């Protein structure tokens, strides 16, 4: 079947099913992009579905920069704020770089991210096939730049931002950023959706295919998980877009969003205007009756509380997704008792001594699980009788991360030999050339906060795009972009 981009391919990646008179042009542009690589090595090597994705994303990127809707500009602005440069990997002349014009370096990045997301592996940014496609795609965009139509509706959508007056409509835009925006969507959305639906079904006792479970899951995902190449929450992305188009007041509203995932709430009172609920952290929530117009006083008199999720948007708490009302007092009290009995954190004296011993570093290094057990027992203060067999028993070269007195200790196994620290005696032992980069790119090896600390303190000097460390260019390219790599690969686990 020949490669093809349809009008529907363009429309389904627009906000909330937006249709525009320019959709046909950008679909045709996508097909021009595909045609430009018909005789390339990349056409023979890459999956046809991936090539179509690359063409669609590039066409939508072009549409975005032509109308300057703020999506690409939001990425460039945030990347520059974080790292002092407009783009990862590909240097540009910052004085001559304009986010409302197409650039070959932009396309190279988009193609790199598309391939990385498709393959689910870290790809070298200087891959020759990607370079070949980028050259061809840029030739097409450069030839079309002066005559491409402007999608006025896309720009107006964000400039006017009428969706910001209503929580549900605003959430729909966040769902678009999570699921369909060319820059911020990714393959991980499918796995997370499955996990979220399973969790909702368990909490609210829905059947798996129940539309209510799907609705509730998607309502939660956009506030709970990060997306896009910079590992921002959808509300943070939307705030960046609002700022890029001059909508600063709405950007501030979005930055103040406060999300609470599903938990048990006790009903404390109600009147004609509001319902008062208290969570297990003793926080009082006042919810407008507007969100519960179907709840009669008689129903409320018969209930003890609910399992629900809320979002604070524009100064008021809004119900987020489905909820379940009933006799939850016992569940509420059981959770409170569990929290009291199993408080997270360390005894303050033990934590203070650990920080004195480490010179203030939260990292500790161990040869094997036996050493970790001694550490937990003697220095953290957890009795041996409370320690059960764990993965520790079969591991070596372990790193422990002690973030604060009130947080849990995180462990990373088999990685102490690639962490360069004067306090770490295991650095370089039985080391494999790709160990350090695996620590960055594999989401289940290392806690995100631990990794951020290591990157900030330049403790992973061997992390490279190439296993051959004689390749100094690949090593330097990785080192210069290590935090960005962690963000774009790990996203919600950054």
pLDDT (tens digit per residue) in 412-424: 999 999 999 999 9
Interatomic CA distance for residues 283 and 302, integer angstroms: 23
E-strand stretches of 402-476: 410-412
Q: Residue 289: left (phi > 0), alpha (psi -120 to 50), or beta?
A: alpha
Could you give the angle at which helices 71-83 and 234-244 cross, rounded to 10 degrees? Answer: 100
* Model pLDDT, residue 190: 85
Interatomic CA distance for residues 481 and 156, integer angstroms: 34
Cβ–Cβ under 8 Å, residues 115 and 121:
no
Whether the pLDDT of residue 463 is over 80: the answer is: yes
**Span 146-158, average pLDDT:** 96
Whether the pLDDT of residue 377 is over 90: the answer is: no
* Model pLDDT, residue 342: 78
The per-residue DSSP string of 109-126 comes to HHHHHHHHHHHTS---TT
* Model pLDDT, residue 173: 98
Report pLDDT digits (tens) over 168-225.
999 999 999 999 999 999 888 888 989 999 999 988 888 878 899 999 999 999 999 9
SS3 readout for 175-208: HHHHHCCCCCCCCHHHHHHHHHHHHHHHHHCCCC
* Model pLDDT, residue 386: 54
For 150, other C-beta atoms within 10 Å of its C-beta total 14
The residue that leads in pLDDT, 292 or 431, is 292
Report pLDDT digits (tens) over 7-18.
999 999 999 878
Which run of H or of E encompasses 336? helix 329-341
CB environment 60-91: b (16+ within 10 A), e (fewer)? bbbbbbbbbbbbbbbbbbbbeeeeebbbbbbe
Contacting residues for 281 by C-beta, under 8 A, at least 6 apart: none
* Model pLDDT, residue 325: 94
Report pLDDT digits (tens) over 28-72.
999 999 999 998 898 899 999 999 999 999 999 999 999 999 999
Whether the pLDDT of residue 163 is over 70: the answer is: yes
Interatomic CA distance for residues 33 and 12, integer angstroms: 19
* Model pLDDT, residue 15: 92
The per-residue DSSP string of 210-223 comes to -HHHHHHHHHHHHH
Q: Residue 316 pairs with which residues in a beta bridge? A: 313
Indicate the average pLDDT of the chain.
93
Interatomic CA distance for residues 285 and 287, integer angstroms: 6
CB < 8 Å & 24+ apart, contacts of 259-262: 259/223, 259/224, 259/309, 259/310, 259/311, 259/312, 259/320, 260/309, 260/310, 260/311, 261/220, 261/224, 261/309, 262/199, 262/200, 262/203, 262/204, 262/220, 262/307, 262/308, 262/309, 262/321
Residue 353: both structure tokens together: 């001594």
Q: Could you tell me the pLDDT band of residue 330, with boundaries at 50, 70 and 90?
A: very high
* Model pLDDT, residue 384: 63
* Whole-structure pTM value: 0.94
* Model pLDDT, residue 467: 79
Phi, psi values for residue 270, rounded to 5°: -160, 160
Contacting residues for 385 by C-beta, under 8 A, at least 6 apart: none
For 329, other C-beta atoms within 10 Å of its C-beta total 14
Q: What angle do CA 13, 14, 16 make, to 5 degrees?
A: 110
Report pLDDT digits (tens) over 267-325.
999 999 999 999 999 999 999 998 888 888 888 999 999 999 999 999 999 999 999 99
CB < 8 Å & 24+ apart, contacts of 207-216: 212/322, 213/322, 215/321, 215/322, 216/309, 216/321, 216/322
Above pLDDT 70, what percent of the chain?
97
Q: Could you tell me the pLDDT band of residue 470, with boundaries at 50, 70 and 90?
A: confident
Q: Could you tell me the pLDDT band of residue 346, with boundaries at 50, 70 and 90?
A: confident
Whether the pLDDT of residue 331 is over 70: the answer is: yes
* Model pLDDT, residue 105: 98
* Model pLDDT, residue 397: 94
Interatomic CA distance for residues 108 and 123, integer angstroms: 12
């Amino acid at each position: 079947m020949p490669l093809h981009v349809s009008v529907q391919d363009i429309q389904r990646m627009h906000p909330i099913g937006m249709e525009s008179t320019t959709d046909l042009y950008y679909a045709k542009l996508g097909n021009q992009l595909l045609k430009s690589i018909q005789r390339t090595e990349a056409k023979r090597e890459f999956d046809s579905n991936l090539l179509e994705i690359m063409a669609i994303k590039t066409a939508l990127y072009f549409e975005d920069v032509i109308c300057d809707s703020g999506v690409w500009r939001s990425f460039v602005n945030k990347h520059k704020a974080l790292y002092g440069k407009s783009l990862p990997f590909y240097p540009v002349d910052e004085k001559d770089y304009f986010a409302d014009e197409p650039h070959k370096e932009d396309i190279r990045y988009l193609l790199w991210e598309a391939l990385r997301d498709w393959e689910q592996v870290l790809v070298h940014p200087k891959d020759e096939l990607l370079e070949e496609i980028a050259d061809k795609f840029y030739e097409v965009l450069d030839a079309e730049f002066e005559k491409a139509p402007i999608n006025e509706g896309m720009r107006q959508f964000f400039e006017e931002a009428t969706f910001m007056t209503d929580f549900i409509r605003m959430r729909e835009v966040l769902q678009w950023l999570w699921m369909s925006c060319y820059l911020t969507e990714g393959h991980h959305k499918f796995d997370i959706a499955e996990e979220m639906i399973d969790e909702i079904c368990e909490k609210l006792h829905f059947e798996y295919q129940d539309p209510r479970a799907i609705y509730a899951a998607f309502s939660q995902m956009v506030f709970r998980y990060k997306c896009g190449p910079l590992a921002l929450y959808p509300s943070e992305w939307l705030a960046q877009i609002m700022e890029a188009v001059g909508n600063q007041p709405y950007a501030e509203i979005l930055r103040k969003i406060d999300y609470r995932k599903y938990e048990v709430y006790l009903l404390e009172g109600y009147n004609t205007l509001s319902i008062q609920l208290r969570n297990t952290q003793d926080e009082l929530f006042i919810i407008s009756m507007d969100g519960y117009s179907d709840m009669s006083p008689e129903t409320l008199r018969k209930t003890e509380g609910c399992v629900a999720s809320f979002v604070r948007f524009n100064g008021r708490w809004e119900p987020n997704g489905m909820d379940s009302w009933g006799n939850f007092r016992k569940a509420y009290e059981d959770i409170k008792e569990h929290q009291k009995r199993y408080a997270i954190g360390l005894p303050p004296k033990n934590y203070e001594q650990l920080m004195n011993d480490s010179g203030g570093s939260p990292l500790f290094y161990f040869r094997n699980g036996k050493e970790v057990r001694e550490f937990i027992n003697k220095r953290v203060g957890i009795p041996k009788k409370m320690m059960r067999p764990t993965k520790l028993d079969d591991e070596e070269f372990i790193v422990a991360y002690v973030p604060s007195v009130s947080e849990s200790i995180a462990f990373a196994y088999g990685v102490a030999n690639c962490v360069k620290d004067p306090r770490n005696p295991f650095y370089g032992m039985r080391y494999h050339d790709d160990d350090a980069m695996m620590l960055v790119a594999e989401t289940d090896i290392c806690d995100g906060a631990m990794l951020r600390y290591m990157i900030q303190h330049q403790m992973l000097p061997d992390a490279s795009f190439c296993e051959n460390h004689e390749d100094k260019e690949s090593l330097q390219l990785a080192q210069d972009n290590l935090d960005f790599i962690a963000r774009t690969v790990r996203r919600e686990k950054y």
